[in-house]
Amino acid sequence: MKKLRKLQDSNFYLSTKYESYRPCQNGSNCCDNDYCRCERIIDPRIDEDVDGCQITAILCSIKGRPPIDVYCIERILTINKIWDAGNWDVIVRPGYYGEEISGCQFRWGELVDKQIETALNFKTNRAKIEYILKLEYGHLLPEVQGKRWLIKKVDKNDVVFGQKLYHEKLDQSVIEKYQDYPFPRGICLFQDGKYRIIDGYHRLAAGEDKVKIIWAKA
């Protein structure tokens, strides 16, 4: 299994936009009427939401890595709003042809790396899932403590969205982003022949006939 890359040390080439200033077009003869090599980049920024699943795949070699570990990594990235363009810094460097974009770095990479290290250092899936739920929600429901969590594909019709109002108000734009989600879509408790969702309403709403879940007996 390949070693997990550190987010704080990783550089990503994302879609960016910026304004520019060219001294050679504003009275300077710095380029001697040749090709412009003096362009300065002003206000560089990422111009679209970032794909957290793609970042997860880049950080870790998914093949051969335990699915619950991959799930934990992706959830930590999402909890820390990896998708928010405002949490990224665009790196500008001088070049022979003027300033240029040399990649993007996540602003809170060190924090994320520490959280991922903590999660993956736990010896059991129970401890990993409890850590992720507590990280996202601030506390653990009594019914999820001490469970033996497994991975399984189930019929979506057997998945129960227990909070009707929340289910009805799910953000459709978020659901659409999870259409091709490659990891387990949520955490469920099995009871009376059904899988009641503990976490993952949007991800499971985006699933088709069969959905992969992390589950345990209630």
Whether residue 105 contacts residue 91, with contact meaning beta carbons closer than 8 Å, is answered with yes
Residue 61 confidence (pLDDT):
67
Average pLDDT over residues 1-29: 83
Angle at 70 between CA 139 and CA 188, to 5 degrees: 50
Residue 119 confidence (pLDDT):
97
Angle at 56 between CA 53 and CA 58, to 5 degrees: 115
- Distances in Å between the Cα of 28 and the Cα atoms of 19, 38, 41 are 19, 10, 17
Measured CA to CA, the distance from residue 183 to residue 22 in angstroms comes to 46
| Other C-beta atoms lying within 10 Å of the C-beta of residue 2 | 10
Measured CA to CA, the distance from residue 127 to residue 64 in angstroms comes to 21
Residue 62 confidence (pLDDT):
62
Give the model confidence (pLDDT) of 115-137 as tens digits.
Answer: 999 999 999 999 999 999 999 99
Give the model confidence (pLDDT) of 157-175 as tens digits.
Answer: 999 999 999 999 999 999 9
Instruction: For the chain, give the percent of residues with pLDDT over 70.
Output: 95
Angle at 176 between CA 79 and CA 10, to 5 degrees: 40
Residues 6+ apart with CB under 8 A from 114: none
Measured CA to CA, the distance from residue 62 to residue 81 in angstroms comes to 21
Residue 37 confidence (pLDDT):
74
